[in-house]
C-alpha cells in the first residue's frame, strides 16, 4: 500500500509501546493502523485521530472519557478497547485485532442477505448492544461500517462510545457529523442531538432493513435530506422492497424504527429477545455470511491480509491475523501489570453492572395502556420488553368497547424486565336486557328488575282487558331493551278493564229497558217487581247497578219493575155521622173531603166517592146533610 510510505506514523513506536506497521484506512475523523503491542506481543489496531481534532482540548478530554467507558465493555461480540492515550499530539485508541471484513463490504459483495443470514448477523450485533446498554454505554453510530465479520462466521461491533466524543467536537460541522451516518440516525438525534439506548435500537432496525433489502430505507441528495426523512417518515416495511421477507421481520423493523422513542424496545436486550423469538418461531437458523476472500487488503510490511473501509465519519477497521512476533522488542520480558490492571477494571465493571442490575437494571415501569387497542398495547409492551396476557373482558362506562380498560400492574408501577402485564379489554358500558314482568305484581316486578341491577323509576296506571288490576301490563322501555345497569324503568300497572256506563232505563217499560241494556253489552239479571206509587205498572223502577253507574263491560244488570201503586179498600161510611166517617176514612189511610149538601140536616153521610180499592192517600169525598 503505497499510501503508507509517506505516512509519518509508519515505522514509529507510538507511546513507546505500539509499533506502527502500516496504515490500513483513512476516514473523515481518523486513520487506522496495523500495529504490534511490543509489551504484550500481540497484534492490535490503532485508531489515530486527525490533528485538527487532537488540537481541541475539549475533544481530547471527551475522547479519553468515552474511550475509558468503552474499555469497560467486555463481550465476545464487541471489539475490545485495550488502551487510549496521546503521543506528541497524536490522540489514539488501541483496539482488539480482528481478521475479516466490514459488514458494509459483505453487503457490497452480496447485495443483500437472506432473512436467515440477516437474523444471524443481527443476533450478534444486538447481543453486543444489549451488553453495552446494560453497562450504561450507548454506541450512537450503529451501521454496517462498524460491524466486522470474520471468515469463520464471528461478528463484532466496533467503536463503542466514540460517536459521542466525535459529535461533541466543536471542530466538526453538521455535514461532517452526518456524513455516512445520516442513513441510520434516529429522529431524536437529528432533532436535538439526544441519544440513548433507544437511539441504538433505531439504528439497528435500519441496519436490519438494509441487510434484508440491500439498501437503506431513505435516499437523498445530501446527508441532511436523508436525516430529515427519519424525522418525517416511517421506515417502510422491508417486504415492500424485497420478496420473501416474513411479516414478523416487517413488524420487528417497524417496532425498532418507531419515530417515537417510547414506542421502541427499551434497549438492545429487549430487541435481542424479540429477534430470538422471531428466529425460533420462523426457524430462521442460518450461518453468518462469510466475507469473500478478495475483499481483503494486502499489508506489505506485515505480509498478512486485512480489511478496512474509508467511507463515513466513523471508520471501522478489520485487521489481518498477526504474524509471529520477532525482533528485540518482541523478546522483551513480559510485564504482568497490564494484565492485573485489566483484571481490576473488568472486576470493577462487573461489580458496577451487577449493582446496577440488582438495584434498578432488572426493573422497568409498566407503561400506560388504558384506552389502547389490543394491537397498540402489544406493540407498546413489546417496546418495553414486557409480556402480556389477556383476561376476560370487563364492562366500562368510560372506555369504549375493544379498548384496554384494566391493566395489572397499573401504569407507572415498577415491574421486572420481561414481566407479564395482564390486560382486560372493555365490553363497553354494562348493559342488561329489561326482563319481561308483564302479569306480575308490582312487588314481583321490582324483585325481577333488581336481580339484573335495574330499578323502578316510577309507576303509572292504565286499563287492560287482559291483565288483572294491580298487576303489571308492561314496562317502559319494553322488555328486551338493553339498558345500563342501575337505570330506572317505568312500570305500567293495570287498573283492570275500562268501565262502561249503565244506561238509565228508569220509567221505561220493561221490554224497552231490556233491549237497551242488551245492546249496551250488559247481561240481564233477575227481574223483581214491587208496588210503586209513582211508576206505573210494568215500567222500571230501578236497575242494579243503577243508571249511569260505571261498571265492567258485560256486567249483569238486575231490573226492578213496578206493579203500580198498592190498593186498599175504602171503608163504607155511608149513613155514619160525618165526624165518625172522617175518622174511619183517615184511619184507613185515606184523606177525607167532607161536603155538606143541605143545611139543617141530621149530619149523616149520604154518598162517598171514590169507593172500592184505592191507593192510600187517595182523597175520599164525603157528602152529608
**Dist. CA 547–CA 312, nearest whole Å:** 114
- Between strands 81-87 and 42-49, the pairing is unpaired
Grid coordinates of 519: 245492546
Neighbour count for residue 230 (Cβ, 10 Å): 26
Residue range 38-49: average pLDDT?
91
Residue 149 contacts residue 155 (beta carbons within 8 Å): yes
More confident residue, 224 or 550: 550
- Name the most confidently modeled range: 4-13, 73-82, 472-481: 472-481
Neighbour count for residue 600 (Cβ, 10 Å): 7
More confident residue, 162 or 212: 212
DSSP 80: P
Instruction: Measure the CA angle with vertex 568, ends 563 and 571; round to 5°.
Output: 165
**Dist. CA 100–CA 79, nearest whole Å:** 13
**Dist. CA 282–CA 289, nearest whole Å:** 19
**Dist. CA 17–CA 21, nearest whole Å:** 13
Residue range 114-133: average pLDDT?
94
Which of 615, 565, 595, 29 is closest to 314 using CA atoms? 29
More confident residue, 36 or 2: 36
- At 129-180, the pLDDT tens digits run 999 898 888 888 899 999 999 888 899 998 875 645 444 433 333 333 443 4
pLDDT (0 to 100) of residue 434: 95
Model confidence at 338, pLDDT cuts 50, 70, 90, reads: low
Q: Which residues does the annotation mark as catalytic?
A: 141
pLDDT (0 to 100) of residue 375: 93
- At 557-610, the pLDDT tens digits run 999 999 999 999 999 999 999 999 999 999 999 999 999 988 878 899 999 999
pLDDT (0 to 100) of residue 525: 95
**Dist. CA 475–CA 454, nearest whole Å:** 12
Model confidence at 304, pLDDT cuts 50, 70, 90, reads: very low
Neighbour count for residue 18 (Cβ, 10 Å): 26
> What value does the mean pLDDT of the chain take?
83
Residue 59 contacts residue 171 (beta carbons within 8 Å): yes
Q: What is the DSSP string of 257-297?
A: T-SSGGGS-SSHHHHHHHHHHHHHHHT---PPPPPPGGG-E
Q: Is 486 exposed, middle or buried (0-12, 13-18, 19+ CB in 10 A)?
A: exposed
Please say if the pLDDT value at position 299 is more than 60: no
Half-sphere exposure of 341 (CA within 13 A, CB side): 8
More confident residue, 540 or 319: 540
Please say if the pLDDT value at position 509 is more than 80: yes
pLDDT (0 to 100) of residue 268: 94
Bond before 576 cis per omega within 30 degrees: no
Give the residue carrying C-alpha cell 436486550: 269
Please say if the pLDDT value at position 357 is more than 60: no
Model confidence at 538, pLDDT cuts 50, 70, 90, reads: very high
Query: What pTM does this model have?
Result: 0.48
pLDDT (0 to 100) of residue 274: 94
Residue range 437-456: average pLDDT?
94
pLDDT (0 to 100) of residue 6: 72
Lowest-pLDDT range of 309-318, 357-366, 492-501, 511-520: 309-318
Residue range 318-344: average pLDDT?
43
Q: What is the dihedral of CA 276, 281, 285, 291, to 10 degrees?
A: -60
Residue 472 contacts residue 493 (beta carbons within 8 Å): yes
Grid coordinates of 244: 420473501
Model confidence at 223, pLDDT cuts 50, 70, 90, reads: confident
Amino acid at each position: 500500500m503505497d499510501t503508507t510510505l509517506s505516512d509519518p506514523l509508519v515505522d514509529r513506536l507510538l507511546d513507546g509501546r505500539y509499533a506502527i506497521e502500516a496504515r490500513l484506512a483513512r476516514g473523515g475523523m481518523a486513520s487506522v493502523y496495523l500495529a504490534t503491542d511490543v509489551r504484550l506481543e500481540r497484534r492490535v489496531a490503532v485508531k489515530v485521530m486527525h490533528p485538527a481534532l487532537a488540537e481541541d482540548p475539549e475533544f481530547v478530554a471527551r475522547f479519553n472519557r468515552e474511550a475509558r467507558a468503552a474499555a469497560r465493555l467486555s463481550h465476545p461480540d464487541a471489539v475490545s478497547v485495550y488502551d487510549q492515550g496521546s503521543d506528541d499530539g497524536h490522540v489514539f485508541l488501541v483496539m482488539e485485532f480482528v481478521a475479516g471484513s466490514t459488514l458494509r463490504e459483505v453487503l457490497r459483495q452480496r447485495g443483500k442477505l437472506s432473512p436467515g443470514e440477516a437474523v444471524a448477523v443481527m443476533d450478534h450485533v444486538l447481543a453486543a448492544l444489549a451488553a453495552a446498554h446494560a453497562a450504561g454505554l450507548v454506541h450512537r453510530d450503529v451501521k454496517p461500517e462498524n460491524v466486522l465479520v470474520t471468515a469463520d462466521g464471528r461478528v463484532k461491533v466496533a467503536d463503542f462510545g466514540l460517536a459521542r466524543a466525535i459529535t461533541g467536537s466543536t471542530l466538526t460541522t453538521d455535514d461532517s457529523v452526518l456524513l455516512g451516518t445520516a442513513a441510520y440516525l434516529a429522529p431524536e438525534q437529528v432533532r436535538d442531538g439526544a441519544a440513548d439506548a433507544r437511539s441504538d435500537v433505531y439504528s439497528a432496525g435500519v441496519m436490519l432493513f438494509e441487510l434484508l433489502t440491500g439498501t437503506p430505507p431513505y435516499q437523498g441528495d445530501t446527508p441532511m435530506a436523508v436525516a430529515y426523512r427519519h424525522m418525517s417518515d416511517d421506515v417502510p416495511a422491508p417486504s415492500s422492497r424485497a420478496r420473501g421477507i416474513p411479516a414478523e421481520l416487517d413488524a420487528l423493523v417497524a417496532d425498532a424504527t418507531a419515530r417515537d422513542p417510547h414506542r421502541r424496545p427499551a434497549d438492545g436486550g429487549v430487541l435481542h429477545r424479540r429477534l430470538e423469538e422471531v428466529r425460533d418461531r420462523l426457524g430462521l437458523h442460518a450461518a453468518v455470511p462469510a466475507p469473500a476472500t478478495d475483499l481483503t487488503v494486502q499489508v506489505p510490511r506485515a505480509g498478512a491480509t486485512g480489511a478496512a473501509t474509508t467511507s463515513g465519519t466513523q471508520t471501522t477497521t478489520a485487521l489481518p491475523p498477526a504474524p509471529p512476533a520477532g525482533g528485540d522488542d518482541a523478546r522483551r520480558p513480559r510485564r504482568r501489570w497490564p494484565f492485573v490492571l485489566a483484571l481490576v477494571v473488568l472486576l470493577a465493571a462487573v461489580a458496577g453492572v451487577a449493582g446496577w442490575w440488582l438495584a434498578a437494571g432488572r426493573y422497568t415501569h409498566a407503561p400506560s395502556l388504558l384506552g389502547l387497542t389490543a394491537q397498540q398495547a402489544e406493540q407498546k409492551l413489546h417496546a418495553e420488553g414486557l409480556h402480556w396476557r389477556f383476561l376476560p373482558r370487563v364492562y366500562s362506562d368510560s372506555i369504549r368497547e375493544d379498548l384496554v380498560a384494566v391493566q395489572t400492574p397499573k401504569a407507572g408501577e415498577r415491574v421486572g424486565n420481561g414481566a407479564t402485564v395482564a390486560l382486560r379489554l372493555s365490553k363497553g358500558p354494562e348493559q342488561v336486557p329489561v326482563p319481561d314482568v308483564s302479569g306480575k305484581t308490582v312487588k314481583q316486578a321490582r324483585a325481577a328488575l333488581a336481580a339484573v341491577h335495574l330499578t323502578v323509576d316510577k309507576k303509572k296506571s292504565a286499563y287492560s282487558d287482559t291483565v288483572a288490576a294491580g298487576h303489571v301490563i308492561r314496562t317502559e322501555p319494553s322488555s328486551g331493551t338493553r339498558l345500563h345497569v342501575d337505570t330506572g324503568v317505568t312500570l305500567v300497572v293495570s287498573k283492570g278493564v275500562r268501565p262502561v256506563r249503565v244506561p238509565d232505563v228508569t220509567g221505561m217499560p220493561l221490554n224497552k229497558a231490556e233491549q237497551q241494556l242488551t245492546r249496551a253489552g250488559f247481561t240481564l239479571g233477575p227481574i223483581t217487581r214491587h208496588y210503586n206509587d209513582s211508576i206505573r205498572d210494568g215500567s222500571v223502577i230501578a236497575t242494579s247497578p243503577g243508571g249511569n253507574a260505571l261498571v265492567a263491560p258485560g256486567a249483569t244488570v238486575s231490573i226492578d219493575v213496578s206493579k203500580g201503586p198498592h190498593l186498599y179498600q175504602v171503608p163504607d161510611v155511608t149513613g155514619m155521622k160525618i165526624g165518625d166517617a172522617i175518622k174511619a176514612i183517615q184511619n184507613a189511610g185515606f184523606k177525607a173531603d167532607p161536603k155538606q149538601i143541605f143545611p139543617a140536616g141530621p149530619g149523616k153521610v149520604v154518598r162517598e166517592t171514590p169507593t172500592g180499592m184505592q191507593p192510600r192517600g187517595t182523597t175520599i169525598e164525603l157528602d152529608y146533610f
